[in-house]
Chains A and B, each alone.
Chain A
Amino acid sequence: DTAVSQTPKYLVTQMGNDKSIKCEQNLGHDTMYWYKQDSKKFLKIMFSYNNKELIINETVPNRFSPKSPDKAHLNLHINSLELGDSAVYFCASSQGTSGQHFGPGTRLTVT
């Protein structure tokens, strides 16, 4: 059983488009995250939700909007995509102070 799943795994789109990445976890965790891994392989947190409430919101362009319909889901919507948005986006979840469980990643390519 997949613990943290993301769809799609690959996403190729043109500049200016709007796209969404979905994330679901079946671990019963109360906290979920979005990370971005850029071309330099630097893994950086973007957002975190705890019980559907936004608790971490790093310096991210407001074209990026997370949405958590329930504890098990955290989606990432990106408006007006730019070339610099090309990266691998990872969703993760955790419970309390435990280590975070990551999804397989979504490779976004903006052309």
Chain B
Amino acid sequence: DQQVKQNSPSLSVQEGRISILNCDYTNSMFDYFLWYKKYPAEGPTFLISISSIKDKNEDGRFTVFLNKSAKHLSLHIVPSQPGDSAVYFCAARALGTASKLTFGTGTRLQVTL
């Protein structure tokens, strides 16, 4: 039972354009969401997070949007750069579950020149 879903396994975007990565979840108890970036042969790196009390969080070129009613979040990268090419994982944490994260299966972003 996959509670966090990233339905697009891959995405290709031109350099300078906006990249939008999507994530859907099914568990209403999730109250905190995170995005991780992963390069080959490396561990995931924390990018940005958002609490369920907010609908937007911004950090430089990265913005995460949360739509609780739709159980959907998205990561926007503007402008996209070649170094952003990586696999992006969405993760969620439920209230009262210590620090347990449930991950999506990832979206591979390719930023082309």
B32–A56 contact, CB under 8 A?
A: no
Number of A-B contacts defined by CB within 8 Å: 53
A43 in contact with B99 (CB, 8 Å)? no
Q: B34 near A: Cβ within 8 Å? A: yes
Q: Could you tell me which residues of chain B, from 96 to 113, have a CB within 8 Å of some CB in chain A?
A: 98-103, 105-106
Residues of chain A within 8 A of B98, CB atoms compared: 31, 48, 50, 55-56
Give chain A residues whose Cβ lies under 8 Å from the Cβ of B87. Answer: 41
* The one of A42, A44, A55, A102 that contacts B45, using a Cβ cutoff of 8 Å: A102
Chain B residues positioned under 8 Å from A50 (CB to CB): 98-99
Task: Determine the residue in chain A with the shortest Cβ distance to B51.
Answer: A97
Nearest CB of A to B8, in Å: 14
Assess the B103–A90 pair: CB atoms within 8 A.
no
Contact among A42, A48, A55, A101 with B46 in the assembled complex (CB-CB below 8 Å): A101
Which residue of A31, A44, A56, A94 is within 8 Å of B103 (Cβ)?
A44
Interface membership of B25, Cβ < 8 A: no
Q: Specify which of B43, B46, B99, B101 is in contact with A104 (CB 8 Å cutoff).
A: B43
Known A50-B98, A55-B98, A56-B98; judge A99-B103 contact (CB<8 A): no
Distance, CA A103 to CA B46, complexed state (A): 12
Q: Is the CB of A74 closer than 8 A to any CB of chain B?
A: no
9 A-B pairs whose Cβ atoms sit less than 8 Å apart in the complex: A41-B87, A45-B100, A45-B101, A50-B98, A55-B98, A56-B98, A97-B32, A99-B49, A100-B99
Which A residues fall within an 8 A CB radius of B?
4, 31, 33, 40-45, 48, 50, 55-56, 90, 92, 94, 97, 99-105
